Amino acid sequence: MQATMSKADQRKLQKLKLKASRRDQYKRFTRSKGGNFFYTLFLILFGLFSVLPMYYCIITSFKPLDELLVFPPRFYVISPTVASYLTLPSLLDNLAVPLSRYAFNSIFVSVVTTFFHVLVGSAAAYVLAKTNIKGKTVIFAVVQMSLLYNAYTLEIPRYLIYSGLGMIDTYWAYILPMIPSSMGVFLMKQFMESNVPDALIEAAKIDGAGSFRTFWQIAMPNVKPAWLTLTLFSFRDLWSIQPGGTIFSEELKTLPFAASTIAQSGIARQGCAMAVTVIMMIPPILVYLVTQRSVTQTMSSSGIK
Amino acid sequence: MKSEENKVVKNTEQQNAPSLKEILKAEEAELKAKQKAEKLKKKQKVAYDINGKVIPDLNVKHVRGIESKKSWYGFYFVLPWIIGMVLFFIIPLINSLRYSFANVIPEEGYMQLDWVGLEHYVYLFKKDENFTTNLLGAVGDFFTSMPIVVIVSLILALILNSNFKGKTLFRGIFFVPVIVATGVVMMHLTDPFGGFGAIVQLSSSVTEDAYSAVGTSGGMDFTELLNSLELPTDITAWLSSMITDIFNTIWTCGIPVVLFIAGLQTIPAQLYEASKVEGATKWEEFWYITLPSIGQTLLLVIIFTLIELLTQTSNPVINQAYALINNTEYGISSAMLWVFFAIIGAIIGIVIFIYSKLCLKRWE
């Protein structure tokens, strides 16, 4: 009988089995109805708090002017419009530089810096995790120490270095300081230690691969989730980068700066501010969706030492 | 007798002294020649076997030892990062330490330092009343909010890690705010009327940890919303402060939740199956399997939370230091930050020590 069973039937049977096993899994959530109820309540309550600001922001960006000024603020729209989005370009006409320039600056800075940060961080992490160079422990101690320091507490002495290197008012002021950030090295090191077997590297060497080739073609593909995560975190930080005291010319400023100018134009522009915020949220979310699957995997590895 | 012998030896030494020197010289020369020959051998990139014969067909690089080669390349690999680190972290760090011992007068392109020794530190603890209260406040805040953050995120992670429909959706819900909420976006979410503080404008990096600002001002003005409900003022105040606290907690929980989930996923399923067979309750399962298994993750989360709480902008000490920087009081602010970092370091050290003594050892 089984031999004569058609392929479609076999597939159906498999599906049924799968369903049954899944149902079992879901049943193991908790053992009592009360527990289930408590869990769901907890999740929904905290989930609400988590998404509420974002939800409110998106809703507000679609509100017409008369609904914007209603007090107390509403959490719903009666007659949604895209007017706020449409007025954005005209608002930005008042700025000295076209919006596209701000967008280009932001994208350029984010992409270039993220690329070099991931590359430099991974290379350093590869050495720290997989070789025995002198001063390895010292380097790693510096990594851990610098994790403790908030960047802006060193802003003044840093500024002197920027000006000494002639980086003030150039793209370098965005890019260079962000490249040797220690978070990347830390994350990548933890991951490479457990995910790149020594035997693999030795095998590559014996097959005649150089150090760079081993790093690029053996180690990096093995820790793809890790550098994807790093890309996500790095992009997230860089996308929001604003010119501090280091950039003065208007054509070098970034999108967040333009966004904050809009926000400062008053309560009546609240809708526009929200619209620009929604637009600003999109690129990081896209990067998140692309890298999403890898994120939890990476975190597990850096968590276990 | 002995002294006579010594004399004899000395005499002979004196007599033979030039010849001895010559011998030594000759030996040295020989050694040098040998070393040179060895160097030449190395330079020639030819491999030798044990008897010193040339092995013709082997790739020389590998015979000379993978390790040495690797470490040499390793230096090149780590070099870009080291240069960056020295330029943008270590030199500024040392400079800020120097500032903390001096009166700093900004000149064009450099800082004029007038050494005052420990004066700034003494001033901070003896004269500046705000500093000690701020410091205690910051540390106290940390000790109340850290356990809450850790416990809430652990519960969330436990729930999100179990199998139920829509778990990907919920994970997204808890993780997307972490991704999205940086800088200007965060500012707009909380404060759409553009009330940017001077601190925020001064430095771009400040905005990185603006989570804490959620619900505290503008935005979805909960206080006003609550006021419109016309409840007694006490209840309104309590409610609004509680809502602010919940927001703060939730938005700090993002990364810890992800870390915990990751840790939970590495616990082998066999352990739970075994405990089920033995008839353990869920409660026992948690205390005897789950918690010991994620011991390392828990430590990591504690450190992450600690760093995040102690270095965020809303921290009173950081705020005070920033106000001082704006007044060009670089010396005192540097001293302040160094004291603060010393305390953070000490706290982290103590936490790690106690935790590993009390918990990790017992769980192993």
pLDDT tens sequence across B296-353: 778 778 877 877 777 666 677 777 777 777 777 778 888 888 888 888 888 888 888 8
- For B162, the closest of A29, A156, A266 (CB atoms) is A29
Residues of B in contact with A182 (CB under 8 A): 85, 89
Higher pLDDT, B291 or A122: A122
Residues of B in contact with A128 (CB under 8 A): 78
Give the three-class secondary structure for B252: helix
Is the Cβ pair A301, B159 closer than 8 Å?
Answer: no
Separation of alpha carbons B62 and A174, rounded Å = 42
A129-150 mean pLDDT? 79
pLDDT at A2 over 50: no
What confidence score (pLDDT) does residue A298 get?
Answer: 53
A222 at the B interface (CB within 8 A)?
no
> Which CATH number applies to A91-303?
1.10.3720.10
Q: In chain A, where does the domain assigned CATH 1.10.3720.10 lie?
A: 91-303
ipTM of this model? Answer: 0.73
* Mean of pLDDT over chain A: 76
What confidence score (pLDDT) does residue B230 get?
Answer: 59
pLDDT at A32 over 70: no
pLDDT at A181 over 60: yes
pLDDT at A57 over 80: no
Angle at A289 between CA A281 and CA B219, to 5 degrees: 25
Q: How confident is the model at residue A118 (pLDDT cuts 50, 70, 90)?
A: very high
Angle subtended by helix axes A182-195 and A270-303, to nearest 10: 40
Region of residue B301 (phi > 0: left; psi between -120 and 50: alpha; otherwise: beta): alpha
Cα dihedral B87, B92, B97, B103 in deg (nearest 10): 130
User: Of A238, A284, A152, A175, whose CA–CA distance to B205 is shortest?
Assistant: A152
Q: Which of A50-54, A64-68, B67-71, B149-153 shows the lowest mean pLDDT across its residues?
A: B67-71
Which residues in chain B come in under a pLDDT of 70? 1-18, 40-74, 108-110, 181-234, 236-237, 239-245, 247-248, 251, 266, 311-314, 363-364
Question: Best mutation site among B101, B185, B296 for testing chain A: the one with the most A CBs within 10 Å?
Answer: B185
What does R_g of chain A's alpha carbons equal in angstroms?
Answer: 26
Higher pLDDT, A243 or A253: A253
pLDDT at A56 over 70: yes
Separation of alpha carbons B253 and B178, rounded Å = 9
Cis peptide before A72 (omega within 30 of 0): yes
What confidence score (pLDDT) does residue B92 get?
Answer: 86
A149-165 mean pLDDT? 76
Beta strands B47-48 and B54-55: pairing type?
A: antiparallel
Task: Choose the most confident range, by mean pLDDT, from A124-128, A261-265, B303-307.
Answer: A124-128
Contact residues for A154 (Cβ-Cβ < 8 A; gap 6+):
B89, B92, B93, B96
Q: What is the pTM of this model?
A: 0.69
Mark which residues 91-110 of A lie under 8 Å from B by CB: none
